[in-house]
Amino acid sequence: MQTLTNRAKLVDRRPMTALERIYLWNILKGMIITFRHIFKKKATINYPEQKRSFSAVFRGVQILNRDEEGRERCTACGLCAVACPAEAITMEGAERLPTEEHLYREEKYAAKYEINMLRCIFCGLCEEACPKDAIYLSQTFAQANYSREGFIYKKEDLLIPHPKENPEAYAKALGERKAKNN
């Protein structure tokens, strides 16, 4: 029979010889391979204790950024929503009251901000579109959840911790990539 490629190997269907029938040699051959792998580098890690570092360009779950005083940067300009190819982002804007100047950076802010993580494809176009440095793709992935409802991320789920009230969590949320840049 002519083979299509020269990589194909015909199965040897000759009856086994007496030596082969004992299987001893074949078992030994297999054990040598197993034994060799003990000394090789492991392909797996002990996940929750050890974590792999992400690539510098890894695109994880979005965070809504705050400025150095802890005010929300998002102004609900809608550019992330219009750039989003999966139409995952929705928002509602509101005007900042004079008493809320420590909360929001600009006179308009996002009163509601939602990302549908079931739709999100982590393309990063929202980050690219944002004129206010307000949305970033962080270096963590979206948590697993039992129900679909849990994947509609509200503003509270997305906001980065306050840099002054909770500096440790803030630094952690910034991730390695941001820390290097600063």
Total residues binding other proteins (CB under 8 A): 29
Least separation in angstroms between CB 80 and other proteins: 11
The residues in 79-138 that bind other proteins, with binding defined as CB under 8 A, are 79, 81-82, 90-97, 100, 106-108, 111-112, 114, 116, 131-132
Work out which of 49, 149, 165, 168 binds other proteins, going by CB under 8 A: 149
**78-84 contacts, C-beta under 8 A, 24 or more apart:** 79/129, 79/130, 79/131, 80/125, 80/126, 80/127, 80/129, 80/130, 80/135, 81/126, 82/129, 83/125, 83/126, 83/128, 83/129, 84/125, 84/126
Q: Which of 154, 164, 169, 179 binds other proteins (CB under 8 A)?
A: 154
Check residue 37 for interaction with other proteins (CB under 8 A): no
Cβ proximity to other proteins, 88 vs 173, nearer residue: 88
Which residue ranges make up the site for other proteins (CB under 8 A)? 75-79, 81-82, 90-97, 100, 106-108, 111-112, 114, 116, 131-132, 148-149, 152, 154
